[in-house]
Amino acid sequence: MKTKLLILITLLLPTLALAQQRLSVDVQTITVAGGKKVTATKSLYLSPDGRLISEMQRPQHVITTTNALGEMRIYNPADNTVMIVDDKELASSKELVTMFASGRFMDMDLPVYGYTQSDIRQQDGMTIKTFEPKTKTSGAAKVELVFERHLPVCMVYYGPKGDAVRKVYFSRYELGRVPMPMRITEVEYSSPTDSLIRLSTYSNLIIGAEAQSDMFDFQVPSDAVKIAPEKGKPAK
């Protein structure tokens, strides 16, 4: 059940959080892994305090609320049930797109995860920053953050043997009040012969007072039945 929960959370996000302004955007995410393809569509509604509402339309109608503390509520309108997950690792502030919404993309918050910048160099007109963990960690042995015209275009995560284990590409920037990549491509190399590819395409980005929707104020109904995440049945 935990695996299913993580898959659901992955589909519900990427998340935006902690922006200085109200923001709404539509997202289509296509995930390909193990020869299977999953398409998810959703609309995101971000408030200045970091509260995010995610209304998924596909593959099923689910509404999620989350905040910077990792207090997540996954609501199913069809049967009026809610799954409650409180975990700081699920905090909206930890999501990649958050860095762009809040302007914290110069180091993509890598220092928060225990990484320190060890090198910076210029190559083919691009700036490459290298980050390494301060102590031994189960995460990446090294991360390279590549900039073009002062905006991130790629992140490469390396394993202990020096091989790339994950790549994230940022493209189709929409410049304005918030510089936002409207396309994010993630590639995870799960094995020498297989990989997971996730393509997220953003559209209808609205920022500031023009972002108007009742979804910004959505609250899970007080009579929603609580579902235990691990057992999939009403919580006591």
Give residue-wise pLDDT tens across range 99-111. Answer: 777 888 999 989 9
Any residues with CB less than 8 A from the CB of 162 and at least 6 apart, and which? 141
CA distance 27 to 59: 13
Long-range contacts of 77-83 (CB under 8 A, 24+ apart): 79/225, 80/221, 80/223, 80/224, 80/225, 81/224, 81/225, 81/226, 81/227, 81/234, 82/220, 82/224, 82/225, 82/226, 82/227, 83/5, 83/226, 83/227, 83/228, 83/229
Domain 1-102+201-236: homologous superfamily in CATH: Lipoprotein localisation LolA/LolB/LppX (2.50.20.10)
Considering the chain, what is the average pLDDT of its residues?
Answer: 85
Rounded average pLDDT over 69-98: 86
pTM of the model: 0.82
Q: Where are the domains of the chain?
A: 1-102+201-236, 104-177
Contact 29, 199 (CB under 8 A): yes
| pLDDT, position 7 | 39
Q: What is the average per-residue pLDDT within 118-124?
A: 96
Do β-strands 225-227 and 81-86 pair in parallel, antiparallel, or remain unpaired? Answer: parallel
Whole-number percent of the chain with pLDDT over 90: 58
Closest CA to 148 of 105, 102, 93, 199: 105
